[in-house]
Structure 1
């Protein structure tokens, strides 16, 4: 099988390559990234046919068509989260870039398109409803209006609806994971969400006895390796439709506090959001308040479809994945690709 994988050196892409190497080493993989790994990067990047393509370029589609010719499947991971203060650039990479990927795959006659969506594509649950409802893949995918990430994930899903509706592909698969965590992404996630304060995570962990958190921050997470395994199964089975992918347990405010070796104490959501918004506007940290709205607003996901149709089951708990990620952020550890490497 020949695959073309965009974003193959990132958080999810790296885990997917590990899963491919473990279960299907015979697959031929072409990796499409903005900055390819160095030749000595080692596993899982060894043996991948790397190509440098910038999805923000309007000429990316032409190059993608060439690369996708004769491919059995295209797996689209590429997505930009930063710079959060430049929504126009993120729109160019994420929405316009995805459109170029879909067009190129359709033009090349690729039979199977796998798109990495997110829990963030789901519409919000009723305000203040706790416990959150647990929903399957039929929940509205219109996104969280106040989250740029969510709006763009929803926009790309609706764009994919158009391609799917016109029958450009034999099979279209949508993967909707919770927040994807692994130690190799520690440096990257630290840069994205903590910024220059990332080293302080190590100091805070275990040193602060209590962590003020509102009750509504309850969300799904998944270890990257469990997600990589699920995507390999989707590709191998050419499984159509949407798949929720998450650990069996959920991250609650208590679990989040425990990851910092602290005890959670209740705090008003409005106060936390105001603090995040103010510190983001003044460039003290890189996380915009829409991420809080996403964590508070999205439903919890039922993963029964993936378990039934793919024979998939998560191996790692969400709590363990979160704890290992927090430790990695504090130590600034990361992977060997340009996007995952510490700086």
Structure 2
């Protein structure tokens, strides 16, 4: 399920190259893009709404023994907004899980969930293990969607103990067509951040996500696993590595700042995502290595660097251009906010110089 999306389409292509896989059937409610269709090669594709009663019959008639649910939305930035995302995540998943539970041929079920199920709060542990729960029950949004779907999957497992269930909880993956909060903050030259907070974040490279998904699909030990890269970054570090300036703003002014400075995605940011920008979230991945048998190839810092290179957002700026753009923007801001902006510029310049990512100024030749 979710065969038309990035992870689903790429997984299909990887499975077709696996000699142990006899048949691959991709299902989604929308047609794959030409690029994703090429990735899927000659795989069978069925365009079907997940809520269709035909799904159970298709699984049974095709003799499907492994189902991968890669169709969950991980942000509210999708077309149609929160209402459409909730409909797809909750109602769509309920029908998929029910169909799998009634299909006798299904023996393995893999769900791509997210680390958002742990929530974000000021009393969180340094790192969440898979056995921990959110310090406060999510009240809505993506965290509650994913937590609910995980519950539906476990309910199916209790009724059908013969089905091996694997739940992969992944953090932000930069570079996918579906935007992320972190990715949206790496776009504008001046990115709003919450004053007084610098959340810790973990990332995951797209290839590591695909490798983990393939491992889960082709026979890894079932269970619930945090899948995340080694290492932790702070949000302002990530923004500065992109050659951009973090601008601290008060929480009440964040949406206003987003409208002025950032892309459309952050203008529709929800409460759970705002809590993430305040407190962050990091995960323990011991079980991923010892029981699941997987180690990501990229660290969080390497995943960020790869994204910046691939997206063309490398920090190739000069001190002069940075200071000039800052002066122009500062004239449009209230004095306190302009002062914080200038302080952020000085910090960013220092960090980029330490990285060797700030080009030396070009000296003019003497006449």
Alpha-carbon distance in structure 2 between the residues aligned to 1:22 and 1:304: 30
Structure with higher Rg: it is 2
- Structure 2 gaps, min length 5: 314-367
- Quick one: structure 1 residues 292 and 212, their matched pair in 2 at CA, closer, same or farther if it must change by over 3 Å? closer
- Please give the secondary structure, in 2, of the residue aligned with 1:320: helix
Conserved in 2, the CA contact under 8 Å of 1:143 and 1:150? no
| Cα distance, 1:278–1:107 mapped onto 2, change above 3 Å | farther
| Native 8 Å contact 2:193 2:277 kept in 1 | no
Structure 1 position 9, deviation (Å): 2.5
Q: How many residues align?
A: 306
Distance 1:171-1:297 versus aligned 2 partners, 3 A rule: farther
Q: Deviation per CA, 1:244-272, whole angstroms, max 9, x where unpaired? A: 00111223123322342135565555543
Matches within 5 A, 1:213-224: 214=195, 215-224=197-206
- Whole-angstrom distance in 1 between the partners of 2:90 and 2:252: 30
Determine if the alignment matches structure 1 residue 167 to structure 2 residue 160: yes
- 2:266 and 2:217 map into 1 onto residues whose CA distance is 42
SS at structure 2 position matched to 1:47: coil
Contact persistence 2:3–2:28 (CA under 8 A): yes
CA contact 1:221–1:318 (8 Å) conserved in 2: yes
Within the candidate set 137, 149, 153, 2:130 is matched to 137
Name the SS of the counterpart of 2:173 in structure 1.
strand
Aligned counterpart, 1:155 = 148
Note if 1:66 corresponds to 2:54.
no
Distance in 1 of aligned mates of 2:192 and 2:275 = 19
CA distance in 1, matches of 2:122, 2:33: 47
Relative contact order, higher structure (CA 8 A, sep 6+): 1
Q: Distance in 2 between matches of 1:226 and 1:40?
A: 20
Cα distance change on mapping 1:296 and 1:190 into 2, 3 Å: closer
Which of 8, 12, 25 does residue 3 from structure 2 map onto? 8
After superposition, what is the alpha-carbon deviation per residue over 1:316-343, rounded to whole angstroms, capped at 9, x for unaligned?
Answer: 2223333443566678xxxxxxxxxxxx
User: 1: distance between equivalents of 2:20 and 2:303?
Assistant: 26
* TM-fit CA distance, 1:31: 0.7
Shift of 1:103: 0.7
The answer for the alignment partner of 1:75 in structure 2 is 68
8 A Cα contact 1:230 1:310, kept in partner: no
Equivalent residue for 1:300, pick from 282, 287, 291: 282
Which one of the candidate residues 36, 42, 45 is aligned to 1:47?
Answer: 42
Alignment partner, residue 126 of structure 1: 122
Question: 1:309 is matched with which residue?
Answer: 291
- 2:216 is paired with a residue whose SS is helix
Q: Deviations over 1:105-151 (max 9, x none)?
A: 11112111111111011143434x6xx51121001158763551111
Please tell me whether the aligned partners of residues 225 and 288 of structure 2 are also in contact (alpha carbons under 8 angstroms).
yes
- Is the contact made by 2:4 and 2:33 (CA closer than 8 Å) also made in structure 1? no
TM-superposed deviation, 1:222: 0.5
- Going from structure 1 to structure 2, the CA distance change for 1:211 and 1:37 (only over 3 Å counts) comes to closer
Partner in structure 1 of residue 307 of structure 2: 325
Q: How does 1:185-334 map to 2 (within 5 A)?
A: 185=176, 187-189=177-179, 201=187, 204-205=188-189, 212=193, 214=195, 215-262=197-244, 264=246, 268-269=250-251, 271-272=253-254, 275-276=257-258, 285-297=267-279, 299-325=281-307
Cα pair distance change 1:308/1:193, threshold 3 Å: closer
Q: Which moved more, 1:271-280 or 1:72-81?
A: 271-280
Work out whether residues 39 and 46 of structure 1, in 8 Å CA contact, stay in contact via their aligned partners in 2: no
Is the Cα–Cα contact under 8 Å of residues 5 and 36 in structure 2 kept in the other structure? no
